[in-house]
Structure 1
């Protein structure tokens, strides 16, 4: 085995043995390719050179309580002292977590645990096709549901790719892409038209109730209700992908906010404050089709499903969310950001709108709040990416990739928000003064989300 030379830097060592030097496609950020993280705590992380960053990227959203929350870390350590993975039967923690999710999430009558959100959405579509005997799946432009082939298309698409099939990866069979219908978000007429033409062959509709993988498109109530009505009328399965919205936007997820209840719900991210757990739950008649119930026909497996450490993390996270004013705190800070950033940006003369929900915020550089992905094509990508790159130099980390949202946690403070506002004003001024548009480094035609 070749040993690295003593003088070789950590990034160079990483690139020698890890393709691109990172273990997920969107961790390799142009201009920040030498970033090595050494520590994380509360609202911050530190790099290997000791620089501190106030973190609003938050790993695409899991640490709602903040990084390395002591109660969650303590629960994981305690679980590790008495139990590890046995891979047979069930643990008391798995039972308690499933009971808690059934209690909290309106659509959930049964629950199965996975290791990632992508696995949860994969199994949701598999069971929908199995019970309906149908071929087609409906998804929406701008929504991301994981890395598996049937939904790996039409997330952040270049203008010329909107309206057609836009896979985010090569290696996907054309016949798999052909079995997915891509519709326009917040377009109830388009949904009704698709069901009028294809309803007898639509197995499932899967949607991020808030498409956070393109920042934040807030759903219109008529749109979500149309999904529910059309699926009910045609015998199709409605899947809410609440991997992002679930728990972060409320203990009942977006279905608790909207009152629209899907047939199946997928969850992950904030459910365990960053530990690798996903969940799929919903109607008992659908969930009972999985082979975790002896004799059931839809295969379901995963060596690490329900691992004691991640179950302990999820239970500790949910207990803290129910016992402490976490949502009140992050919602208040989020409202501060959304209310005060426009006043910071207006004197600069740059077109900008600030949107979001709860603890999520995003600034688009355009004239009007977007309703659909097509509206987002007006966003000034050079300004969006450029000002965020300049924020990094000030120790404020909002992911400098096009359309990516930012998050607040229970560990962020009003002082952090004050500094965010000041840094944003300075970064946008600097970007305007530079007079040269930053190249579109977002990889717009291929970029997806993160599970």
Structure 2
């Protein structure tokens, strides 16, 4: 029998004794912050076990659009718990209402199935695309992250010498699985046309983050997204928009509504339940009806926790609040402030930098022009990017100190928070410059994807 830990052992030490690396997701083990233990979160703030307070712009890669522990979401979850828990048979009224709501909001969603994570949603999207088309190949784009499963666990944040080559983010993936995925450049419509000219008869699906937020923010050209739709339609391939990040956060109808390009399938997650573990897959009825949730259908679909009442209640409460209150107006206004007010501050320090993003998402790249493709991001000063953020953490302003990672605003953030963000950024960059910068470790960063 294992003995209880001695009282003298710290919480991080206890974690490392029983949890590999001391954390339950790879990107939570941040260099320089290995002993961070989170004790409480509320609104735009979290506190560590030592009582130190942080204004949170990392936001768990984006789910809490309303802010941590939103009272209306928490109340809905508590109410659901008074009447329901997981029964694992049939369907609940909440599941029906959530599917109806998503189908009403998102242009591509004629049918909807719930999962527990975004990775599961993208996995099922590719599986059903291959089943429907009888084809082998999947197309993804350099810099896009679609979850942990083997077909797409590649070419996210790649070192310069790995761009244009197979760059899996994990060992243990069969070579033949990697060989069935084509990796193209984002925002390169000619490259898409060429890939379809060469392989169109064997491309089952094209999966894309319409805005690749796993490398900060690459805004898509209209021609690029239109080309994806045109080529998939022409060749009978399935177009999948991975809106796990963009969906709901950028607009209730997702990026597809903003762009006016409707995919065949859409995956969602993160912000649709304000941080509760939910994913969703929806799209054309003929594709969705292939899943075995419909008796006799051939594509297996299952998940013990799919449609858990607490998660469904959180999603319904979140979507209701997003529809009834000026959440997007507030976070977009704060985002516009950051993107407008940070550049002149950085320019006054003589630092080559661009501040980009969309709505509530922002990111500062240390380079001299706005990036359009992942190749452009190779010019980012990784040492400055990670170094200034590490100094921000020391001042209680938390932007994740990992290369190319975006930051988020929530309904709980205020103008005073933005004022402090800008002041702290200036001080942190100034201090980084005074120290001559810090070496960036792109080799470490190249193994990292996103979080689902």
| Same structural fold, with TM-score higher than 0.5 when normalized by the shorter chain | yes
Cα-to-partner distance string for 1:340-384 (whole Å, 9 max, x where unaligned): 000111110010000000000000000000000000000000000
The 3-state SS of whatever aligns with 2:51 is: coil
Q: How many angstroms does 1:430 deviate by?
A: 0.3
Q: How many angstroms does 1:442 deviate by?
A: 7.1
Structure 1 unaligned segments of length 5 or more: list them. none
Which residue is 1:113 aligned to? 114
Q: How many angstroms does 1:3 deviate by?
A: 1.0
Distance 2:441 2:11 in 1: 27
Q: Is the 8 A contact 1:401 1:442 kept in 2?
A: no
The 3-state SS of whatever aligns with 1:261 is: coil
Q: How does 1:281-300 map to 2 (within 5 A)?
A: 281-300=282-301
Q: How many angstroms does 1:169 deviate by?
A: 0.1
Q: How many angstroms does 1:436 deviate by?
A: 4.2
Which residue is 2:343 aligned to? 342
Distance 1:40 1:165 in 2: 39
Which residue is 2:305 aligned to? 304
Cα-to-partner distance string for 1:50-108 (whole Å, 9 max, x where unaligned): 00000000000000000000000000000001100000000000000000000000000
Distance 1:53 1:271 in 2: 24
Which residue is 1:327 aligned to? 328
The 3-state SS of whatever aligns with 2:421 is: helix
Distance 1:383 1:409 in 2: 25
Distance 1:69 1:167 in 2: 37
Which residue is 1:243 aligned to? 244
The 3-state SS of whatever aligns with 1:26 is: helix
Distance 2:369 2:28 in 1: 30
Which residue is 1:145 aligned to? 146
Which residue is 1:66 aligned to? 67
Q: How does 1:10-159 map to 2 (within 5 A)?
A: 10-159=11-160
Which residue is 1:430 aligned to? 431
Distance 1:229 1:350 in 2: 41
Q: How many angstroms does 1:438 deviate by?
A: 3.4
Cα-to-partner distance string for 1:116-144 (whole Å, 9 max, x where unaligned): 00000000000000000000000000000
1:352 and 2:353 matched? yes
Which residue is 2:255 aligned to? 254
Q: How many angstroms does 1:439 deviate by?
A: 3.7
Distance 1:339 1:348 in 2: 16
Q: How many angstroms does 1:26 deviate by?
A: 0.1
Q: Is the 8 A contact 1:186 1:223 kept in 2?
A: yes
Which residue is 1:410 aligned to? 411
Distance 1:207 1:403 in 2: 18
Q: Is the 8 A contact 2:384 2:437 kept in 1?
A: no
Distance 1:405 1:245 in 2: 12
Which residue is 2:197 aligned to? 196
Q: How many angstroms does 1:441 deviate by?
A: 6.7
Q: How many angstroms does 1:445 deviate by?
A: 2.2
Distance 1:171 1:37 in 2: 32
Q: Is the 8 A contact 1:199 1:234 kept in 2?
A: yes
Cα-to-partner distance string for 1:150-181 (whole Å, 9 max, x where unaligned): 00000000000000100000000000000000
Structure 2 unaligned segments of length 5 or more: list them. none
Q: How many angstroms does 1:269 deviate by?
A: 0.1
Which residue is 1:367 aligned to? 368
TM-score, structure 1 normalization: 0.99
Q: Is the 8 A contact 2:44 2:67 kept in 1?
A: yes
Distance 1:442 1:239 in 2: 30
Structure 1 residue runs of 4 or more that deviate by more than 4 Å after TM superposition: none
Q: Is the 8 A contact 2:159 2:443 kept in 1?
A: no
Q: Is the 8 A contact 2:63 2:273 kept in 1?
A: yes
The 3-state SS of whatever aligns with 1:418 is: helix
Q: Is the 8 A contact 2:388 2:429 kept in 1?
A: yes
Q: Is the 8 A contact 1:401 1:441 kept in 2?
A: no
Distance 1:445 1:261 in 2: 32
The 3-state SS of whatever aligns with 2:445 is: coil
TM-score, structure 2 normalization: 0.99
